[in-house]
Amino acid sequence: MYHIFISHAWDYNNHYNTLVQWINDDGYLKHRWSNYSVPMEKPIDTNKKIKLKQRLTNKIALSNVVIILAGMYAVYSEWIDYEIDEAVRMGKYIIGVRPWGQERIPVKIQDNASIMVGWNSASVTNAIKQS
């Protein structure tokens, strides 16, 4: 089983949905993964920052793969930054995914990713299988 946490910005929820679809469409991964992400449709129910951090940490701890969308918006996201720090602290396998057509990648993601892949289903699913 692959226990996956997908770090993403809700403003770019379509990227998250595409990644989930690619994993679900892969014949091998389809029934061999659990999603520990926090999608926009299932937010963590808390208004306290410390509680949110604890719940994110718990989700990352249960994961063996962390996928980070490497959009430049990640530079400005406190939560993506926190999720990267936690994944690194826990020694998680980090897959950085370069969104389609993007030339620049946030340095923090590039420096901490176990592997960087392009924006296509085969690259993402193969990186998960190699984790």
What are the pLDDT digits (tens) for 10-44? 666 788 899 999 999 999 999 999 999 876 566 66
Quote the CA–CA distance of 70 and 68 in Å, as a whole number.
6
Of the pLDDT bands very low, low, confident and very high (cuts 50, 70, 90), residue 104 is confident
Q: Tens digits of per-residue pLDDT, 44-103?
A: 666 788 888 998 999 999 999 999 988 766 666 788 899 999 999 999 999 999 987 777
Two structure tokens written together for 55: 């719940």
pLDDT of res. 75: 66
Within a 13 Å sphere around the CA of 58, how many CA atoms are in the beta-carbon half?
A: 8
pLDDT of res. 31: 94
